[in-house]
Amino acid sequence: MLDGAGASARGVYTGDYILEVDQVRKEFPGVVALDDVQLRIRPGSVHALMGENGAGKSTLMKIIAGVYSPDRGEVRFAGEKLEIRTPLDALNSGIAMIHQELNLMNTMTVAENIWIGREPKNALGLIDHAEMARMTQALFDDLKIRLDPQAMVGDLTVAQKQMVEIAKAVSFKSDVLIMDEPTSAITETEVEHLFAIIRDLREKGVGIVYITHKMNELFEIADELTVFRDGKYIDTVAAQDVTRDQIIKMMVGREITDMFPKIDCEIGETILQVRNLTLPGVFHDVSFDLRRGEILGVAGLVGSGRSNVAEAVFGVRPATSGEIRIDGEKVDITAPPVAMQHGMAFLTEDRKETGCFLNLDCIENIQVALLSSGKVDNRGFVNQREVNRLAEEYAAKLRVKTPNLAETVANLSGGNQQKLLIARWLLTKPRILILDEPTRGIDVGAKAEIHRLITQLAAEGVAILMISSELPEVLGMSDRIMVMHEGHVSGFLDRAEADQVRVMELAAK
Amino acid sequence: MATQNMNFDRAAPRALRKLPSEINILLVLVGIALVFEILGWIFQGQTFLGNINRLKIMILQVSVIGIIAVGVTQVIISGGIDLSSGSIVGAVAMVSMSFAQTAEYARAVYPALTDMPVIVPVLIGLACGAIAGFINGWLIAYTKIPPFIATLGMMVAARGLAKWYTKGQPISFPTDSFAFLGSGMMPVLIFLLVAVIFHVAMKYTRYGKFTYAIGANPQAARVSGIDVERHLVKLYIVAGTLAALAGIVVAARGQTAQAGMGMMYELDAIAMAVIGGTSLAGGRGSILGTSIGMVIFGVIISGFTFLRLDAYYQEMIKGAIIVAAVVADTYRQKKRVKKA
């Protein structure tokens, strides 16, 4: 009965709404996360939930999944009030969830991960591994996923892990499937695959809640959409009745006219020259120039080596051959401190893993690069007053929203965390700024602000290397675009000649 | 990019938030002390806190381990652990004592090297601790083996060295100047000196800030330009050197060195740090907290003795308190991060 993917074990619910959230309120100390919100999901439809970071989407999903309990209001499932106390309750009630973060056990196999807690047993009551593998294969066949059920999850790519998460959620045969930004870590091909799975589930009567920041996905897959803003319910509309601009207006409460406000500025002399940079098996013969005031966009699919080149230039994982010149002089960048001495700064792709100190406060997060650059201390002693002043100045400049800078960074929204990380690097007054996915997973308002800031920095003469998976961002912000494909530079495009099609041609070849 | 006139009254809430974790521990200390005071009047008919002599002995008992705890706290804040300190105490007690013997004693370990100025055994002892710490740190930073394993190896090896050094024979008859290091309230003074130095280092220098950053997120620390490996080596050298200092004080106080000295000190030191609010997950803790943790530890031991509680019960209750401290830390951590 657990074979394959498909419709609910409970049969298709015939009422109007399979899941109803009514007047739900949730407060945390000092913040109202949800203020009497509502959400109604029809069976057999894809319902997008939109809102800036901090709008309360994740909190609501955690209430539905039983992680939090609401202060007021109720959640009804198939017309009945839902009493969910644990994530297991939610699964048993027919609600499955794909979380934004991966929740897999790296040291176990794909099959073990999917069926954990539900393992098929043989006559002796021991786990039947053969049956488990067969069930996994059946599930994968149904979803057209090509993965070995016996593979170690730790050996998979992030995108493959995401597919395992999706398969696992589908395997519960739930009536409601919640997906929290399922495409943030996967490539175009896999997004198509995911959408095919979603359409299939929709046909089988599953109600799908789809949380995303990406507008084009929304119009491709969603039937209806609900917008939250600052913990409040704004509206529910049919996807075909609204335009992109209307949705943005609902989300931010104001019009954002220019998403990519690149201003033309004077491009100066070449400051960074990279020649034939190679890290065997990762990237080969990468060469490019970067000039003062220039934004060089780097496009390419996930896994094309974009981030690795950035890491090599900054010395995180140096290349084995090739050369890097700064102001015409050959430099040997063996580690990040060396890169920083040459005026480089590097905003990493993964905010949580390599960016933030989540358990430390804002000041401690902002000051670290400045401290390691050794510019503000007196024989090792830190002038904390001066550091605090600078941190406050930049937090204000970047409009970081936090009650105060003593707040633990884990409590900030993704956009604000990103602004703190940018502030961290701006404090070191870099001449060369490397940005790896500067606006990944952050909301529209913060995105526009970060774009404005990047342009501003370029205008001040900073040379910027910007990697991004979002084509509109690369096209909108860059003076030139370098496209990478499978570890090689497949071409450069000038701002004037670049468009979506040409970049994709070079990126996918 | 207009600089906005936002309201910056941030210095105040920052200071307010930083204090409570240590104030909480201080309150626990006061609470425990008062409980013993009350129990004292009920069961013994006398004061617990009012007896200065008792308090002196109490602080003397714990301050040697407190010296170790100052180093161990830093290692734990960086996300590591040091199990080797107790064995380093034993080994350094033996080695330093062998260079501190008087000429009057006929069977000195190095008959030619008796009556040396006190600085000689001290420096040799500290150097031994620093070398052990360097080996720990180097293994952890550059071979990437877990700190638990590296320091477990050192724990066994250093104890072996202590026994091999004189084939198990104790070493005695130190010079007066060496014995002075352990006399009277010297151990407490040495602890205070060490605690103040590293309190300042952890709070006001790059050394301290880097330690917290590495414990909170080593990858982010590395990308932020911190030489994580070099810093880890420094931290373990500090921890080893402080354990060595404790070894010197122990030997000087006992006026004899035995290979078994310092047994289990590493666990007591870790317990002091944890009771004092140092998070085993790394990134949080303080020397001030550990110092309060040390006093709590002392109050408990001395309180139980005062109540004539059986030694067996003492150990069981000590164990429970350590676990309770970690539970409290986990709970605090959850509360700090309100929403995911």
Domains by residue range for chain A, with CATH: 19-252 (3.40.50.300), 268-343+431-509 (3.40.50.300), 355-429 (no CATH)
CB within 8 Å: A406 and B206: no
CA–CA distance from A171 to each of A18, A122, B96 (Å)? 19, 20, 67
- Which residues of chain B lie closer than 8 angstroms to A33, CB-CB? 339
CA–CA distance from A6 to each of A3, A163, A207 (Å)? 9, 16, 12
pLDDT tens for residues B283-321?
889 999 999 999 999 999 899 889 888 888 888 888 888
CB within 8 Å: A453 and B337: no
Residue in the structure block whose two tokens are 């109202």: A32
Q: How many angstroms separate the CA atoms of B338 and B328, rounded?
A: 16
pLDDT of residue B156: 97
Strand partners, A233: A228
User: How far is CA B279 from its chain centroid?
Assistant: 15
pLDDT of residue A15: 67
Q: Which helix or strand (DSSP H or E) is residue A493 part of?
A: strand A488-494
Q: Which residues contact A359 (CB under 8 A, 6 or more apart)?
A: A408, A409, A410, B216, B281, B283, B284, B333, B336, B337
B121 domain residue, yes or no: yes
Question: What ipTM does the predicted assembly reach?
Answer: 0.77
With 0.90 as the threshold, say if the pTM is over it.
no
pLDDT of residue A30: 62
Residue in the structure block whose two tokens are 């499955």: A96
Decide if pLDDT at B20 tops 50.
Answer: yes
CB within 8 Å: A368 and B224: yes
Apex A314 CA angle, A311 and A315, nearest 5:
80
Residue ranges in B99-227 assigned as alpha helix (H): 119-142, 147-165, 176-180, 186-204, 206-216, 218-223
Query: pLDDT category, B186, cuts 50, 70, 90?
Result: very high
Contact A271/A432 with Cβ under 8 angstroms? Answer: yes
**Residue B12 Cα, gap to closest chain A Cα (Å):** 9
Strand partners, A225: A48, A237
Q: Which residues of chain A have pLDDT under 70?
A: 1-15, 29-31, 53-54, 253-261, 508-509
- Which residues of chain B lie closer than 8 angstroms to A424, CB-CB? 224
Of how many residues is chain A composed?
A: 509
Q: How many angstroms separate the CA atoms of A120 and B115, rounded?
A: 76
Instruction: Classify residue A460 by burial, with Cβ atoms within 10 Å: 0-12, 13-18, 19+.
Output: exposed
The residue range of the domain holding B80 is: 58-335
Which of A265, A363, A404, A425 is the best residue to mutate to test the B interface, defined by the most B CB atoms within 10 Å of its own CB?
A: A404
B9 domain residue, yes or no: no
On average, the pLDDT of chain A sits at 86
| Pairing verdict, β A377-378 and A344-347 | unpaired
pLDDT of residue A326: 95
Residue A502, SS3? helix
- Which residues of chain A lie closer than 8 angstroms to B339, CB-CB? 28, 33, 58-59, 411
Q: How many angstroms separate the CA atoms of A235 and B280, rounded?
A: 46
Contact A90/A97 with Cβ under 8 angstroms? Answer: yes
CATH of the domain at B170: 1.10.3470
B170 domain residue, yes or no: yes
pLDDT tens for residues A154-191?
888 888 888 898 899 889 888 899 998 888 777 778 88
- Which residues of chain A lie closer than 8 angstroms to B7, CB-CB? none
Q: How many angstroms separate the CA atoms of B274 and B113, rounded?
A: 42
Locate the chain A residue with the closest alpha carbon to B8.
Answer: A392
B118 domain residue, yes or no: yes
Of how many residues is chain B composed?
A: 340
pLDDT of residue A246: 83
Q: Which residues contact B157 (CB under 8 A, 6 or more apart)?
A: B87
Mean pLDDT score, B180-202: 96
Locate the chain A residue with the closest alpha carbon to B334.
Answer: A359
What is the number of alpha carbons within 13 Å of residue B168 lying toward its C-beta? 0
pLDDT of residue B273: 95
| Axis crossing angle, helix B287-306 with helix B52-77, rounded to the nearest 10 | 140
| Pairing verdict, β A46-50 and A207-211 | parallel
**Residue A115 Cα, gap to closest chain B Cα (Å):** 26
CB within 8 Å: A357 and B339: no
CB within 8 Å: B223 and A316: yes
Residue A216: name the closest of A243, A193, A187 by CA.
A243
Q: How many angstroms separate the CA atoms of A286 and A300, rounded?
A: 14
Instruction: Identify which of B1, B18, B336 has the shortest CB distance to residue A397.
Output: B1
Contact A276/A323 with Cβ under 8 angstroms? Answer: yes
CB within 8 Å: A405 and B17: no
pLDDT of residue A52: 72
Contact A302/A474 with Cβ under 8 angstroms? Answer: no
B63 domain residue, yes or no: yes
Q: How many angstroms separate the CA atoms of A234 and B193, rounded?
A: 61
| Pairing verdict, β A72-77 and A283-291 | unpaired
Which of B223, B228, B332, B333 is the best residue to mutate to test the A interface, defined by the most A CB atoms within 10 Å of its own CB?
A: B223
B222: its two tokens: 């590395």
Beta strands in A239-383 (DSSP E): 270-279, 283-291, 295-300, 321-326, 329-331, 344-347, 377-378, 381-382
B199 domain residue, yes or no: yes
B2 domain residue, yes or no: no
Cα R_g (chain A), whole angstroms? 24
CB within 8 Å: B224 and A353: no
Q: Which residues contact B304 (CB under 8 A, 6 or more apart)?
A: B313, B314, B317
Number of H helices, E strands in chain A: 16, 22
Locate the chain A residue with the closest alpha carbon to B202.
Answer: A381
> Residue B196: what residue type?
V
CB within 8 Å: A371 and B11: no
pLDDT of residue A404: 87
Strand partners, A489: A484
pLDDT tens for residues A377-423?
777 888 888 999 999 999 988 888 888 888 889 888 888 899 999 99
**Residue B205 Cα, gap to closest chain A Cα (Å):** 4
- A261 φ/ψ angles, rounded to the nearest 5 degrees: -85, 50
Contact B67/B191 with Cβ under 8 angstroms? Answer: yes
pLDDT of residue A258: 52
Decide if pLDDT at B339 tops 50.
Answer: no
Decide if pLDDT at B19 tops 60.
Answer: no
On average, the pLDDT of chain B sits at 89
CB within 8 Å: B209 and A368: yes
Residue ranges in A342-413 assigned as alpha helix (H): 362-373, 384-397
Domain count, chain B: 1
- Which residues of chain B lie closer than 8 angstroms to A339, CB-CB? 225
B188 domain residue, yes or no: yes
Q: How many angstroms separate the CA atoms of B5 and B1, rounded?
A: 12
Sign of the torsion angle spanned by Cα atoms B285, B287, B288, B293: positive
pLDDT tens for residues A224-269?
999 988 788 999 999 888 888 788 778 776 554 556 667 777 888 9
**Residue B339 Cα, gap to closest chain A Cα (Å):** 6
CB within 8 Å: B18 and A62: no
CB within 8 Å: A359 and B337: yes
Decide if pLDDT at B263 tops 70.
Answer: yes
pLDDT of residue B7: 38
- Which residues of chain B lie closer than 8 angstroms to A67, CB-CB? 340
Residue in the structure block whose two tokens are 């019009």: A255
pLDDT of residue B1: 36
